[in-house]
């Protein structure tokens, strides 16, 4: 997994605001699972955009992540908005003492959802069920930067499947009823300057800092102007998996 640069938290927050994430791709699917008295575990919450979305829909949100910097960002957001029903927990999943919740949400928590034991713990810890989003297989996942990667000698990564079929299979084997909805949505990145756009692209393609001069030469072909921002357009292809007990 890419290590987040310090400015990455703001980048992600700005992208969520511009592209209404996770509400636009997943909001209806998630809201259908939740009652207003439920406790919802946002597993791998990051900066908490999903936790904030969930908070008006349920009684309590447990926002769990191992990234202290991301949780600090969420804490500031919660205080600014005076949100009273989000409990922030800094921990690595699986936690030593399982967290019981009515519904568990895991949006693109890549490592944790690749383990049978972790998936079984998610199943056992959710009273009603949950929602898991993961990358879907698509030859277009990497198309935005293919030519740039070729110029830099970075191999293209066409397939970014996170084994959604495996996740569904495990949940069904454990007794859950599962459905999967293929979701395609725009989730690009707004940046303030072209230099910032070049740094973002370098991070996105997992490039080295020494590659920045080459990236800067190409950056204008990738960054379109939108409302005063330089926006890197990126199309996401995901599997939205619902499981019910």
* Interatomic CA distance for residues 30 and 129, integer angstroms: 11
Sequence spans of domains, the chain: 8-140+159-188+236-244
Quick check: helix, strand or coil at residue 142?
coil
Residues paired with residue 122 on neighbouring β-strands, in sequence order: none
Question: CB-based contacts of 125: which residues, under 8 Å, 6+ apart?
Answer: 41, 98, 99, 100, 101, 104
Low-confidence ranges of the chain (pLDDT < 70): 1-2, 138-143, 158-159
Residue 161's closest CA among 184, 131, 139? 139
| Global pTM exceeds 0.85 | yes
- CATH code reported for the domain at 8-140+159-188+236-244: 3.40.50.150
For residue range 29-65, what is the model confidence (pLDDT) as tens digits? Answer: 999 999 999 999 999 999 999 999 999 999 999 999 9
Residue 79 has a CB neighbour count (10 Å cut-off) of: 9
| DSSP structure class, residue 4 | P
Task: State the pLDDT at residue 132.
Answer: 98
């Amino acid at each position: 997994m890419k290590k987040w640069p310090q400015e990455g938290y703001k980048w992600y927050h700005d992208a969520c605001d511009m592209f209404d994430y996770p509400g636009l791709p997943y909001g209806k699917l998630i809201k259908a699972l939740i009652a207003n008295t439920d406790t919802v575990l946002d597993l791998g919450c990051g900066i908490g955009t999903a936790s904030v979305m969930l908070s008006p829909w349920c009684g309590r949100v447990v926002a769990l992540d191992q990234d202290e910097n991301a949780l600090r960002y969420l804490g500031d957001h919660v205080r600014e908005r005076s949100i009273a029903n989000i409990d922030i927990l800094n921990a690595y999943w699986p936690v030593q003492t399982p967290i019981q919740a009515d519904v568990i949400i895991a949006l693109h928590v890549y490592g944790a959802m690749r383990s049978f034991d972790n998936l079984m713990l998610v199943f056992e810890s959710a009273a009603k069920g949950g929602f898991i989003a993961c990358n879907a297989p698509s030859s277009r996942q990497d198309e935005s930067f293919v030519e740039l990667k070729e110029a830099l000698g970075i191999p293209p990564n066409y397939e970014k499947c996170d084994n959604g079929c495996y996740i569904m299979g495990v949940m069904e084997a454990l007794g859950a009823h599962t459905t999967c909805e293929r979701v395609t949505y725009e989730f690009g990145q707004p940046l303030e300057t072209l230099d910032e756009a070049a740094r973002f692209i370098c991070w996105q393609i997992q490039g080295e800092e020494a590659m920045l001069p080459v990236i800067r030469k190409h950056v204008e072909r990738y960054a379109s102007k939108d409302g005063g921002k330089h926006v890197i357009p990126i199309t996401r292809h995901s599997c939205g998996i619902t499981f019910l007990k």
